[in-house]
Structure 1
Amino acid sequence: MNNMHYSLNEISPIWMILIAILLFVQGTWIFQDARKRGRFPWLWGLWGITGFPTPLIVYWFVVIRSGRRRS
């Protein structure tokens, strides 16, 4: 049996709270930045709360980096 899988009962509630806060902060920051840039804020914000750090990295390449090239 693979020992790399954990059930929710084995994960400390503190870690669950920290992960939830991290995802909420990331999604909020991406949403606010996308709204400032006018680049589909709801799409980016919702995707930002689904995982870490993939949405942030993709957002950086697609929105922030492409915006710098135009300037």
Structure 2
Amino acid sequence: MTTQDLWILLIILPFTFTQSIFLFIDAKKKGSYPWFWGIWGLIQIPLPTLFYLLFVVLPYRRKQKGGNNK
């Protein structure tokens, strides 16, 4: 491992941990497979966050918005 690889790793790791923690906590609040989102957040950046926004957050907001109108 070169020093450049080490620097890249040291820069990316905090982002993956932060993403994973955010996804886990938010998915737990919304009741949407928190362990799945947390583990996937550790594996790569930024696809888990994008998919989480598309498949969990947007439907959750639509559900909340629709429930307030009734």
Which TM bucket (shorter chain)? Answer: 0.7 to 0.9
Q: 2:7 aligns with which of 9, 14, 26?
A: 14
- TM-score, normalization by structure 1: 0.81
SS in 2 for 1:64: helix
Shift of 1:41: 0.3
- Percent identity over paired residues: 31
- TM-score, normalization by structure 2: 0.82
* Equivalent residue runs for 1:36-51 within 5 Å: 36-51=29-44
Q: 1:62 aligns with which of 48, 51, 55?
A: 55
SS in 1 for 2:2: coil
- Computed over aligned residues only, the root mean square deviation of the Cα atoms, in angstroms, reads 1.3
Count residues in correspondence: 64
- Name structure 2 gaps, 5 residues minimum: 65-70
Give the structure with the larger helix fraction: 2
* Partner Cα separation in structure 2 for residue 65 and residue 38 of structure 1: 14
